[in-house]
């Protein structure tokens, strides 16, 4: 997988709420929300790129990518609805 596809995928995911807000949809994100989402998505893409580039064996590479993606999902869920009850939880 080319690294540019990872970053294009992150940009495409970030564009979904932006386009929805322009079209009058149900997203109501502030600039801070977009900044946090950008850090999470592009950070995840960077970590996946790093894992693919540096880890040589396929099973270890798959486990590293899975750990990064699971971490993204858990952090996103905590920020959105507070599944763990930390002070960072959304309202």
pLDDT tens, 24-67? Answer: 888 889 999 999 999 999 999 999 999 999 999 999 999 999 99
Q: Please report the pLDDT score of residue 1 as a whole number.
A: 62
**56-64: which pairs have CB atoms within 8 A and are 24 or more residues apart?**
none
The whole-model pTM stands at: 0.88
* Cα angle: 39, vertex 44, 48; to 5 degrees: 150
Q: Please report the pLDDT score of residue 63 as a whole number.
A: 98
* Cα angle: 78, vertex 15, 23; to 5 degrees: 105
SS3 percent helix, strand, coil of the chain, rounded to 5, is 75, 0, 25
Q: What is the mean pLDDT of the chain?
A: 92
Q: Which residues contact 26 (CB under 8 A, 6 or more apart)?
A: 20
């Amino acid at each position: 997988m080319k690294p540019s596809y990872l970053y294009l995928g992150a940009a495409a995911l970030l564009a979904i709420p932006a386009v929805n807000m322009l079209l009058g949809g149900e997203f109501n994100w502030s600039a801070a929300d977009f900044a946090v989402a950008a850090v999470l998505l592009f950070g995840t893409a960077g970590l996946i790129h790093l894992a693919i580039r540096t880890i040589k064996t396929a099973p270890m590479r798959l486990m590293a990518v899975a750990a990064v993606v699971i971490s993204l999902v858990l952090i996103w869920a905590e920020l959105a609805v507070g599944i763990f009850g930390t002070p960072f939880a959304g309202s």
